[in-house]
Amino acid sequence: MTFQAPKGVSEYVPPRSALFEEAREAFANSARRACYGAMETAVFEDTALFVRGVGESSDVVRKEMYSFEDRGGREITLRPEFTAGVLRSVLENNLHKGALPVKVWTAGPAFRYERPQAGRYRQFYQFDLEAIGTQDPAVDAETIAVGYDAYTALGLRQFTLLLNSLGDPKCRPAYREALQNFLRGLGLDAETRERIELNPLRVLDDKRPEVRDQTANAPVMMDYLCAECKAHHDTVRGLLAGLGIPFTDAPRLVRGLDYYTRTTYEFDHALLGAQSGIGGGGRYDGLSEDIGGPPLPGIGFAVGLDRAVLAIESERALAPGEPARRNAGCQVFGVPLGEDTHRSMLTLVTALRRAGVRADMAFGARGLKGAMKAADRSGAAFAALIGGQERDHGTVRMKDLANGEQHDVPAAEAAAWLIERVLR
């Protein structure tokens, strides 16, 4: 019997995994340049953290969590999102008692029991970034810029930044009530009517055309923002314009998690069809108190790395699975032929690796034809051959795989010869 991964698990194997690494690194580099520190946090947490943090009325908590009782009788949930756990860890480690804001990033798998489809999985991957401890609108713009610059560095162009404000506990209740009154007057189905009472903002997110039509003229938060929230939002918009970051005002944008306040945003990709959200985030000024911490405003975003990979593939118009960048492969491929050549070849490739060259070699008793095929497939610029003749003469035969040119180089100079050509 053979096994398969459980339904809905997203996995990456070579060569496509190079694209995944590239996406994660682009975000990590962008975060490092803005002086965000790396964190590794719990993949599973007390269930109550998500119930209180993400919110009892959210779909994530009501329908999508992987929850179980562990052998010690604890209620445990695999993280469905990062923010609640990152904030929990920041508080537990007292980072908020040092310099503010606490600026951190992390990445890894998240888990939601959803209906699997293209771009939607039960185990998926996020890059997450958080700035905790300030209400300064400049940090809102900073987080957006870190995300925007990473997408851009990946070569993505066909995405849009959707921007909205969800207000705060001062102005949102009046809006919520106005929205509920509007929605109660529509002819919506029983489940949606239930949602009006529980989480009315989410009704605006309903993708069904018959619901969209009916809610087209629903009141929007933008018209209910208090003076402080309005000023905050205008400042963020001005800062983004100053940074040359294009955005679209999206007064109907709401997010799936309940903790958002004020600035909320989503990056949407034009070529991904139904699962077009490639990342999203916003402020969560009340979340710390919701999970038992001190008042501590924060903002952050999560990028769906699976969807970033799909977006890169669609924009580069590559067939899925084709290696996207040549430099993910190796630069030199060693071909040892016959007795007593593996040891000198391993010495050569190790010297190259220590100098920073990506080098591989043929293992096992492979003939010339098979080993050269492996060299071609590796993407290397040069093959380095040591056969019986080279061994006896103390040389290495270099073959330029682009044009077929060959050179015999003394073994003692082989590493330097290759380094000079590959790392130049």
- Which H or E run includes 196? helix 190-198
Q: Toward ligand AMP, which CB reaches closer, 258 or 306?
A: 306
C-alpha distance across the termini of the chain, in Å:
51
Q: Is the bond leading into 294 cis (omega within 30 degrees of zero)?
A: no
DSSP letters along 31-96, please?
Answer: HHHTTPEE----SEEEHHHHHHHT-TTSHHHHH--EEEE-TTS-EEEE-S-SHHHHHHHHHHTTGG
Q: Toward ligand AMP, which CB reaches closer, 96 or 120?
A: 120
Cβ contact 332:418 at 8 Å:
yes
Q: Toward ligand AMP, which CB reaches closer, 36 or 267?
A: 267
User: What residues between 297 and 356 interact with ligand AMP by CB under 6 A?
Assistant: 302, 304, 306-307
- Of 370, 394, 112, 124, the residue nearest 256 (C-alpha): 112
Minimum separation from the CB atom of position 122 to ligand AMP (A) = 7
Minimum separation from the CB atom of position 151 to ligand AMP (A) = 12
Q: Which residue is nearest to ligand AMP (CB)?
A: 304
Minimum separation from the CB atom of position 423 to ligand AMP (A) = 37
Q: Toward ligand AMP, which CB reaches closer, 109 or 323?
A: 109
User: What residues between 374 and 403 interact with ligand AMP by CB under 6 A?
Assistant: none
Choose which of 124, 148, 159, 260 interacts with ligand AMP (CB under 6 A). Answer: 124
Whole-angstrom distance, CA of residue 369 vs CA of residue 161: 52
Choose which of 30, 58, 77, 126 interacts with ligand AMP (CB under 6 A). Answer: 126
DSSP designation for 318: P
Minimum separation from the CB atom of position 118 to ligand AMP (A) = 10
Cβ contact 150:159 at 8 Å:
no
What residues are paired with 360 via a beta bridge?
A: 333
Q: Toward ligand AMP, which CB reaches closer, 55 or 334?
A: 55
Strands (E), 150-255: 159-165, 248-249
Choose which of 46, 114, 136, 206 interacts with ligand AMP (CB under 6 A). Answer: 114
Strands (E), 203-331: 248-249, 261-269, 277-283, 298-304
- Does 121 bind ligand AMP (CB under 6 A)? Our answer is yes
Q: Using the rule CB under 6 A, give the single segment among 32-40, 112-120, 198-206, 214-222 that binds ligand AMP.
A: 112-120
Cβ contact 325:18 at 8 Å:
yes
Q: Toward ligand AMP, which CB reaches closer, 155 or 370?
A: 155
Q: How far is CA 195 from CA 169, 206, 213, 318, 392, in A?
A: 20, 11, 17, 41, 80
Q: Toward ligand AMP, which CB reaches closer, 96 or 307?
A: 307
Choose which of 88, 96, 103, 112 interacts with ligand AMP (CB under 6 A). Answer: 112
Q: Toward ligand AMP, which CB reaches closer, 113 or 417?
A: 113
Binding-site string for ligand AMP from residue 251 to residue 290, where x marks contact by CB under 6 A and - marks none: ----xx--------------------xxxx----------
Choose which of 52, 103, 120, 283 interacts with ligand AMP (CB under 6 A). Answer: 120
- Does 192 bind ligand AMP (CB under 6 A)? Our answer is no
Q: Toward ligand AMP, which CB reaches closer, 256 or 336?
A: 256
Whole-angstrom distance, CA of residue 253 vs CA of residue 332: 50
Q: ∠403-407-410 over CA atoms, to 5°?
A: 150
Minimum separation from the CB atom of position 16 to ligand AMP (A) = 16
Q: Toward ligand AMP, which CB reaches closer, 297 or 304?
A: 304
Q: Is 129 helix (H, G, I), strand (E, B) or coil?
A: strand
Q: Toward ligand AMP, which CB reaches closer, 151 or 175?
A: 151
The count of residues interacting with ligand AMP (CB under 6 A) is 18
Binding-site string for ligand AMP from residue 29 to residue 68, where x marks contact by CB under 6 A and - marks none: ----------------------------------------
- Does 27 bind ligand AMP (CB under 6 A)? Our answer is no
DSSP designation for 322: S
Minimum separation from the CB atom of position 114 to ligand AMP (A) = 5
DSSP designation for 238: H
CA dihedral sign, ordered 406, 411, 412, 418: positive
CB atoms within 10 A of CB 308: 29
Q: Is 383 helix (H, G, I), strand (E, B) or coil?
A: strand
Whole-angstrom distance, CA of residue 166 vs CA of residue 204: 13
305 φ, ψ (degrees, to nearest 5): -65, -30
Interface residues with ligand AMP (CB under 6 A)?
81, 112, 114, 119-121, 124, 126, 255-256, 277-280, 302, 304, 306-307
